[in-house]
Structure 1
Amino acid sequence: MAKLAFVVQTEPYKFEAIDTLLNMVRAAQRAGHTILGVFFFGSGVHALHGHVDPGDSVRNLTERIESELADKGIPIMGCTAWLSMGGVWAKDRIESVREEGLGTLTELATQADKLIFFGPGV
């Protein structure tokens, strides 16, 4: 089976990239693939903000990220520079997020059989 890693570069709620990511992770795990981690970069780090309340009529992506990734032991990483520039401070974000640099993204890219990107500029 394949080793997969994911990079999210788009804001939550603007597109359905995070929904698609979560669906792909679930399907890949069912098929027996290994998920090495999900790296949030650029505007994608805003999906890691823990104080989002979209109300009752919109899905809560923060809760879904926690329940479908963190609670299943999948590493969630946010780019240190983008977390800082975006004001997504440790006290405000999902508890299970690890701050990582581009070196970690490079490691994911070299260890994974497939590196799948969600977002613009790729």
Structure 2
Amino acid sequence: MKREREEWEKQKQEEKTRREEEEEKREREKQISVEQIQRLKSEMERIIREKERIEREKQEQLEDSEKRLTEERNMREDQQKTLEDKQKLLEEQHENELKRRRVECREEYERENEEIKKKKICSETDHSLQV
């Protein structure tokens, strides 16, 4: 009986040791899984941060490009407006010059016409005096 009891105690102890070893094994596996999950989470967070950083940079580049395009468009519009204003001014100057020349020509024509009339009158007067 004592021997059976010792055998039973031995089996019980072996069973206890086996359960403890299995429990330790499960704990190690659990710890390994937790560590793997933590590494994956960390990697995912790193990827998300990197993606956000890239998105921010792209957005900044887009905003910079839009700003530059707007500035260039405004500059071209200003240049166009300036050129249109210059063209209008030149056209007005040209038109004024044409008007001035027409007036000069008309005045010259009228003066010449007056001279011709005076000469004609003088000539007629001279002719009538001679007769």
Q: So what's the TM-score if we normalise by structure 2?
A: 0.15
Q: So what's the TM-score if we normalise by structure 1?
A: 0.16
Larger Rg: 2
More helix by share: 2
More strand by share: 1
